[in-house]
Amino acid sequence: MSPVVYFVIPAYNEEAAVGDVVRRVRAAFPNIVVVDDGSADQTAAAAREAGAIVLRHLINRGQGAALKTGIDCAVARGAEIIVTFDSDGQHRLEDVRALIEPVASGRYDVALGSRFLDRETKVPPLRKLTLKLGVVFTRLVSRIQVTDTHNGLRAFSRHAAQEIQIRQDRMAHASEILDEISRLKLRFCEVPTRILYTDYSKAKGQRSSAAFRIVWDFLIGKSGM
Amino acid sequence: MADILVEHHSSNRLIIQLLIVLFALYALTRTLMRFRKRTIGLAEFVVWSGFWIAGGICVMWPGITQWFAGILGVGRGADAVFYIGLVGLSYAFFRVYLRTRQQDQQLTMLVRKLALRDAETNAQPTTPPKTAADA
Are the beta carbons of B131 and A31 separated by less than 8 Å? yes
Residue B71: predicted pLDDT? 84
Closest CA to A112 of A5, A166, A189: A189
Partners of residue A30 in chain B, C-beta under 8 Å: 129, 131
**Which DSSP helix (H) or strand (E) runs through A5?**
strand A5-11
Strands A110-114 and A81-84: unpaired
**Mean pLDDT, rounded, of chain A:** 90
Q: Looking at per-residue confidence, does B13 or A66 come out higher?
A: A66
The alpha-carbon gap from B100 to the nearest alpha carbon of chain A, in Å, equals 11
Q: Looking at per-residue confidence, does B123 or A26 come out higher?
A: A26
Q: Looking at per-residue confidence, does B13 or B25 come out higher?
A: B25
pLDDT of A66 strictly over 90: yes
pLDDT of B131 strictly over 80: no
Strands A32-37 and A81-84: unpaired
Partner residues linked to A156 by β-bridges: A82, A110
Are the beta carbons of A55 and B108 separated by less than 8 Å? no
pLDDT of A213 strictly over 70: yes
pLDDT of A79 strictly over 60: yes
* First and final C-alpha spacing in chain A: 45
Report the residue of A55, A58, A63, A173 to disrupt the B interface, i.e. the one with the largest count of B CBs within 10 Å.
A55
Measure CB to CB from residue A56 to each of B98, B118, B134 and give the nearest one.
B118
Are the beta carbons of B132 and A77 separated by less than 8 Å? yes
With cut-offs at 50, 70 and 90, classify the pLDDT of residue B86.
Answer: very high
pLDDT of B23 strictly over 90: yes
Measure CB to CB from residue A167 to each of B105, B127, B134 and give the nearest one.
B105
The alpha-carbon gap from A33 to the nearest alpha carbon of chain B, in Å, equals 9
Angle between helices A63-76 and B77-121 (to 10 degrees): 30
pLDDT of A101 strictly over 60: yes
With cut-offs at 50, 70 and 90, classify the pLDDT of residue B134.
Answer: very low
pLDDT of B7 strictly over 60: no
pLDDT tens digits along A43-56: 999 999 999 999 99
The alpha-carbon gap from B36 to the nearest alpha carbon of chain A, in Å, equals 34
Partners of residue B119 in chain A, C-beta under 8 Å: 53-55, 73
Sign, CA dihedral A133-A135-A138-A143, equals negative
Residue B126: predicted pLDDT? 45
Distance CA A26, CA A151 (A): 21
Task: Report which listed range, A61-70, A147-156, B39-48, is most confident.
Answer: A61-70
pLDDT tens digits along A170-208: 888 999 999 999 999 999 999 998 888 877 777 777 777
pTM: 0.77
Distance CA A119, CA A194 (A): 8
Partners of residue A77 in chain B, C-beta under 8 Å: 132, 135
pLDDT tens digits along B29-75: 999 999 999 888 899 899 999 999 998 998 888 888 888 888 888 87
Residue A225: predicted pLDDT? 64
Give, in order, the Cα–Cα distances in Å from A175 to each of A13, A213, A219: 24, 12, 10
Distance CA A9, CA A32 (A): 7
Are the beta carbons of B119 and A4 separated by less than 8 Å? no
